[in-house]
Structure 1
Amino acid sequence: METSETKQWIVEALIRLLKRKNYSDITITNITDEALLGRRTFYRHFKSKDEVVELISLQLVDGFADRLLVEKAETFDEIMKTYFTFWEENIELFLLLNKARLLYYIEENIETMIVKVALKVGHVAGDTADAMKIVENHKYEFAYKLAGFWKLTLVWSEEMPRKSASEMSQLIVEFMGVIR
C-alpha cells in the first residue's frame, strides 16, 4: 500500500499522541501540531482522525500480507507462525491500539481484510468479488473461526510472558486438529 509522506507523518503523529493521551482527547489540532503540519494539510488527506486509524489498520493488514509473501508461508502452520511473528514485531502498536479501543476498524472489517490478504498472497484466485462470494458461501464458518481467532490474538497479546510464534502455531494446529 503506497502512502504519501504527509499521510505517514500524520499517522506517526497520532501514534505518538496515543502514547500520551486518550484517543477521545486528541484533536485534529493536536495531530497537526505534533506532525508540524497545518490543519488544511490534514484535511487534504483525511476527513477525520478515525480515517487515520483506518489507514493504520490497512497498513498493518498490508504489512502482514507482505510478510506472508516474504516468508512464502503456504501451510496453515507456516501462516500461523508468520501471523504471530508479525504481531510480535508490531506488539507495541497492537497494544496501544487495543488500549485506546481502536482495534474496532480491524474487527469490523476483518472479513474484507482477510480477503485482501488472501488475494495479495495468492491463496485465493480471482478478484475481490470472487473471494467475497467464497466468504458468503461459508459465512457462518468464516465468522466463527475469525471471531475465535481474533479473540485468541487479543488474549495472547496481553499475556506475559507471551508464547512464541512457534508455540502459538503448534498450539493452534493441535487444538484445531490440522495436519501439518
Structure 2
Amino acid sequence: MNGQERLAEQSRAWLTEALFVLLQQENYNEITVKKIAEQAQLSRRTFYRSFKNKDELLNYCSDQLIQKYLNQLKNLKIQKMNFEQVLTVFFEFWWSEREKVRALIKQNLFILLLAKITPQASKLYQEFKAPWHIDGSLNEIEYIMNFSVGGFWNVLNTWLAKPNPEQPQVMVETLLKSLKKLSQN
C-alpha cells in the first residue's frame, strides 16, 4: 500500500469514527456530510473522494463491521470448536463493538447489518463445516442459516439495546440453557 492509499484509508477511518460519534448525539437524518467532515477534522472534498454521500459511508461502516466479524470467524479452527465456544466468540466480538452497535440500534439502522450478513451466511456455513451443522441441500442450508442468523441478530439487538447489557459469558450461558430446554421439549 502506497502513501496515498494509506492516507485515504486513514481518512475513511476518521470519517467512520466521526459518523459513529454523531450517531450517538443526533438523529441520522439530521447528520450532514459537512457535520461528518467537521467531526473528522477533514474537508468535505476529502469526504467526497471516498464516498458519494452519508448513506454510502454508513454502508461502508456496516461492511467494515461485518467483515471484521467474518474475518474473526475465518481465523478460528471452527471445525474443532464446540457450540459454546462459537457463542462465546459471537458475544465477545459484538460486545467489543457494542458502542457502534448501540448507536445503530438507537437510530433503527442495525437492520442494515442483518441485511448484509444474511446472504453471506450460507456460504460461510458450507465453508466452516462445523460439527453441529446439518447436512442437507443448499436450499435446506439456506433456510437454517437464515433462521439462525435472524435469531442471533434479534438476540444481539435485544441484548445491546439494554441500558446495562449482561456480560458476554452470561449471554452464552443463557442461550445454552434456553436451547437445551427447547431441545428437551
TM-score tier, shorter chain, comes to: 0.7 to 0.9
Q: SS of the counterpart of 1:12?
A: helix
| Structure 2 match to 1:143 | 146
Match of 2:128, SS state, is coil
Tell me which structure has the larger Cα radius of gyration: 2
1:101 and 2:108 equivalent? yes
Aligned residues: 168
Cα distance in 2 for partners of 1:34, 1:161 equals 28
Normalised TM-score (structure 2): 0.75
Inter-partner Cα distance in structure 2 for 1:5 and 1:116: 31
**Conserved 8 A contact 1:82-1:165:** no
Describe the SS at the equivalent of 1:109. Answer: helix
- C-alpha RMSD of the superposition: 3.0
Report the alpha carbon displacement of residue 113 of structure 1 after superposing the two structures with TM: 4.3
Structure 2 gap segments, 5+ residues each:
1-5, 130-136
Change over 3 Å in CA distance of 1:97–1:9 after alignment to 2:
same
2:37, 2:44 within 8 Å by CA — same for their partners in 1? yes
Question: What is residue 70 of structure 2 aligned with on the other side?
Answer: 65
Q: Which amino acid aligns with 1:147?
A: G
Secondary structure, counterpart of 1:21 in structure 2: coil
Unaligned runs of at least 5 residues, structure 1: 125-132
Alignment check: 8 A CA contact 2:16 2:57 kept = yes
1:48 aligns with 2:60: no
Superposition TM-score, scaled by structure 1 size: 0.77
